[in-house]
Amino acid sequence: MPGRDWDVVEREIGTALPDDYKDLLSRFPSGTYRNAVWVASPVDARTKWPAFVDNEIREILEILGDESLEYLDGTDYRPFPEPGGLLPWGHDMQGGIFCWVTDGADPNRWRVTYYSQGMNEWQEHDGPMTEVLWEVLTRLGEETIFGYSLDEEPAVFRVPSTHAGNGCWIPNAGYR
List the domain range (segments joined by +) for residue 91. 6-159
Question: How many domains does the chain contain in total?
Answer: 1
Tell whether the model's pLDDT for residue 82 goes beyond 90: yes
Taking 70 as the threshold, does the pLDDT of residue 7 lie above it?
A: yes
Question: Would 1 be classed as within a structural domain?
Answer: no
What mean pLDDT value characterizes the chain? Answer: 91
In-domain check, residue 144: yes
Task: Decide the pairing of beta strands 97-101 and 111-116.
Answer: antiparallel
Whether residue 16 is contained in a domain is answered as yes
In this prediction the pTM is 0.92
Domain assignment present for residue 133? The answer is: yes
Task: State pLDDT tens for residues 94-139.
Answer: 999 999 999 989 999 999 999 998 888 999 999 899 999 999 999 8
Q: How confident is the model at residue 168 (pLDDT cuts 50, 70, 90)?
A: confident
Rounded (10°) angle between helices 129-138 and 19-27: 60
CA atoms within a 13 Å half-sphere pointing along the CA-CB vector of 112: 24
In percent, the amount of the chain with pLDDT more than 90 equals 64
Confidence tier at 1 by pLDDT (50, 70, 90): low
Sign of the torsion formed by the C-alpha atoms of 148, 152, 158 and 161: negative
Question: Do the beta carbons of residue 146 and residue 157 sit within 8 Å?
Answer: no
Share of the chain above pLDDT 70, in %: 99
Q: What pLDDT digit, counting tens, does each position of 146-159 carry? A: 888 888 888 999 99
**Does 66 map to a domain?**
yes
Q: Given a cut of 80, is residue 167 above it in pLDDT? A: no
DSSP state for residue 121 in the 8-state scheme: E
Taking residue 94's Cβ as centre, other Cβ atoms within 10 Å add up to 9
Q: Is the pLDDT of residue 161 over 60?
A: yes
How far apart, in Å, are the Cα atoms of 108 and each of 14, 30, 81, 111, 127? Answer: 16, 21, 17, 9, 9
Look at residue 125 and tell me if it is in a domain.
yes
> CB neighbours (10 Å) of residue 139?
17
pLDDT at 175 (0 to 100)? 85
Residue 170 resides in a domain: no
Q: Provide the pLDDT for residue 21.
A: 97
The larger pLDDT score, comparing residue 32 to residue 1, is at 32
Q: Looking at the domain assignment, is residue 165 inside a domain?
A: no
